[in-house]
Homo-oligomer: A and B are copies of this chain.
Amino acid sequence: MERKVKNMEAIFFPRTVALVGASDNSKKLGFDVLNSLKNGEYKGKIFPINPRKREIMGLKAYPSLRQTPEAIDLAVIVVPASMVLEVIRECVEVKVRGVVLISGGFKEIENDLGAQLQSEIANLADGAGIPVIGPNTFGILNRKIGLNASFSLELSGVKGGNVGLLTQSGGMAHIITYLSMSSNLGLGKIMGLGNRCNIDFPQAISYLMEDADTKVIGVYLEGIDNPRLLIDVAKKHRGRKPIVIYKSGQSKRSEKAALSHTGSLAGRHEIYVGGFCQAGMLWVDSTEELIDTLKVLNFLPLPQDGTAVIVSGQGGPAITSSDVCEKMGLTLAPFNPSTQDMINGVLPPLTMRSNPLDLGPSWNNVESLKSILRIVLEDRYISAVLLIIVYGPANRHFIRELSGLLMEWKTRKPVVSCFSYPSEKWAKDIEDLEDACALVNYPTPERAARAISNLWKYQKIKMGVLSH
């Protein structure tokens, strides 16, 4: 692995962090970043750098990186663009191990000076093996150690977990992180790659592939200069960890916007789709599908093959989710005869005893539901279960009553659910089951169906039977 990629470890697990441009003026970025560093749960040492201050937010300040009492693992830089090159020279001189460069005003601006400055920084950093995340980024987080090296303290509110998130847009990183708070997705490392000075998507993915805390990688991308390199990295690691990719800039107008946003040509959309999919990346089409897919990959085992069953308390949601499964290539096969016999032994003829299965009048009978669930979990010709239960007075304890069975099977067969409920009724029970990796829940039947279909898609990528 390249030295600078290996050194990214210093960015995510620093023992010491210096903030160049720290400020006690709440209107400055240097204030917000220090606030995030200090008031997250980070336990390492923080050194504010500001030549005009002796103390900021109760921390002793230092005039420059040369004066800090300890070696610096991570330097976070928020000074104006014109001063950055000098700071990077200092970083090289004092052997800073990694840099997060938040400052803007480089390749994304509409004249050549910014691009030139950025390229000089890259050359300096490359020479010293220093990874530089940014410039023009909101920063990075590592929830594992409570590190928030970004200008948004609020991002520290997201639950920690094993999803690594790489984005080319700070706005999208914020939206994804805020939504993850309510959808119970566990995020571990969050990276705003910004203008990608010397750490671009290929390097960041290489790092996360080796990172023990990262199980699934989510990518939001607008355009990159060298898609070939990304495709090569994805191919090299194909099937090791899922890479879920959401690429925007699909239309001409948005492509133009992407160019001015992060200084990269979005490029012909079709070329990206083809190349990325062939390299084994899992393609998704929206912010919501990105989060939903990361969640199912993060929490559940992969299905053995593409045969799923839908077990639903009601007919309607069984049908809507069935539509999505079939559209996305997940097979809802008829039950084999012995399974069908067992099901017929549990459910009266009034119900829809085929696949999708509708409990009909038995929707409020927890023993029937448990029996059916056990039958399909034990059937080796069924490799994934989509369970739909709609809250009513008669089934208000169902989630708790099913939890033993779900816990028992959690490592063997994926169970995705749409448990639909008013206000907070089932929220806690569901969160407990998700945290235990016993199921993943979605608010609509279609989103649950899409998630389980994408889980199967990734299994196909892993088995090498899906190239797009």
* Residues on A facing B (Cβ under 8 Å): 27, 32, 35, 104-105, 108-110, 151-155, 157, 167-175, 177-179, 181-182, 220, 222, 248-251, 253-254, 256-258, 260-262, 286-288, 312-320, 322-323, 326-327, 332, 349-350, 352, 354-356, 358, 361, 388, 390-394, 418, 420-423, 425, 443-447
Q: Known contacts A175-B418, A260-B352; can you find 4 more A-B pairs with CB under 8 A?
A: A249-B323, A253-B322, A256-B354, A286-B444
- Given the complex, which residues of B lie within 8 Å of A175, measured CB to CB? 316-317, 390, 418, 420, 444-445
Contact B316 A220 (CB under 8 A): yes
Contact A422 B316 (CB under 8 A): no
Known: A262-B315, A319-B257. A151 touches B420 (CB 8 A): no
- Given the complex, which residues of B lie within 8 Å of A421, measured CB to CB? 178
- Given the complex, which residues of B lie within 8 Å of A171, measured CB to CB? 312-318, 388, 390
Rounded to whole angstroms, the CA-CA distance of A124 and B188 in the bound complex is 65
Q: Can you give 11 A-B contacts (C-beta < 8 A)?
A: A152-B393, A169-B317, A171-B315, A220-B316, A249-B319, A250-B323, A253-B322, A254-B323, A258-B315, A260-B354, A261-B352
Contact B393 A323 (CB under 8 A): no
Rounded to whole angstroms, the CA-CA distance of A110 and B250 in the bound complex is 49
- Given the complex, which residues of B lie within 8 Å of A320, measured CB to CB? 172, 248, 254, 286-287
**A291 to chain B: closest residue by CB:** B444
A248 is contacted by which of B108, B157, B258, B323 (Cβ under 8 Å)? Answer: B323
Known: A320-B287, A394-B32. A179 touches B314 (CB 8 A): no
- Given the complex, which residues of B lie within 8 Å of A313, measured CB to CB? 171
- Given the complex, which residues of B lie within 8 Å of A361, measured CB to CB? 104
A318 is contacted by which of B178, B257, B349 (Cβ under 8 Å)? Answer: B257
- Given the complex, which residues of B lie within 8 Å of A356, measured CB to CB? 253-254, 257
- Given the complex, which residues of B lie within 8 Å of A355, measured CB to CB? 253
The distance from the CB of A389 to the nearest CB of chain B, in whole angstroms, is: 9
- Given the complex, which residues of B lie within 8 Å of A286, measured CB to CB? 320, 444, 446
- Given the complex, which residues of B lie within 8 Å of A174, measured CB to CB? 314, 390-392, 420
Known: A316-B170, A326-B251. A154 touches B392 (CB 8 A): yes
Contact B157 A422 (CB under 8 A): yes
The distance from the CB of A288 to the nearest CB of chain B, in whole angstroms, is: 5
The distance from the CB of A353 to the nearest CB of chain B, in whole angstroms, is: 9
- Given the complex, which residues of B lie within 8 Å of A354, measured CB to CB? 256-257, 260
The distance from the CB of A273 to the nearest CB of chain B, in whole angstroms, is: 13
Rounded to whole angstroms, the CA-CA distance of A222 and B356 in the bound complex is 15
- Given the complex, which residues of B lie within 8 Å of A315, measured CB to CB? 169, 171, 222, 257-258, 260-262
Contact A392 B317 (CB under 8 A): no
Rounded to whole angstroms, the CA-CA distance of A245 and B274 in the bound complex is 34
The distance from the CB of A291 to the nearest CB of chain B, in whole angstroms, is: 9
Rounded to whole angstroms, the CA-CA distance of A27 and B394 in the bound complex is 8
Rounded to whole angstroms, the CA-CA distance of A326 and B320 in the bound complex is 27
Rounded to whole angstroms, the CA-CA distance of A350 and B108 in the bound complex is 8
Contact A319 B254 (CB under 8 A): yes
**A192 to chain B: closest residue by CB:** B316
- Given the complex, which residues of B lie within 8 Å of A443, measured CB to CB? 179, 288
The distance from the CB of A159 to the nearest CB of chain B, in whole angstroms, is: 12
**A36 to chain B: closest residue by CB:** B393
Contact A444 B394 (CB under 8 A): no
> Which residue, of A258, A312, A332, A444, has the highest number of chain B Cβ atoms within 10 A?
A444
**A313 to chain B: closest residue by CB:** B171
A391 is contacted by which of B178, B314, B392, B444 (Cβ under 8 Å)? Answer: B178
A172 is contacted by which of B32, B254, B316, B425 (Cβ under 8 Å)? Answer: B316
Known: A287-B444, A392-B151. A358 touches B316 (CB 8 A): no
Rounded to whole angstroms, the CA-CA distance of A335 and B420 in the bound complex is 44
- Given the complex, which residues of B lie within 8 Å of A322, measured CB to CB? 251, 253-254, 257
The distance from the CB of A407 to the nearest CB of chain B, in whole angstroms, is: 26
A257 is contacted by which of B260, B352, B388, B447 (Cβ under 8 Å)? Answer: B352
Contact A393 B153 (CB under 8 A): yes
| Top-4 shortest CB links A-B | A169-B316, A171-B314, A261-B315, A172-B316
- Given the complex, which residues of B lie within 8 Å of A257, measured CB to CB? 315, 318-319, 322, 352, 354, 356, 358
The distance from the CB of A292 to the nearest CB of chain B, in whole angstroms, is: 11
The distance from the CB of A77 to the nearest CB of chain B, in whole angstroms, is: 16
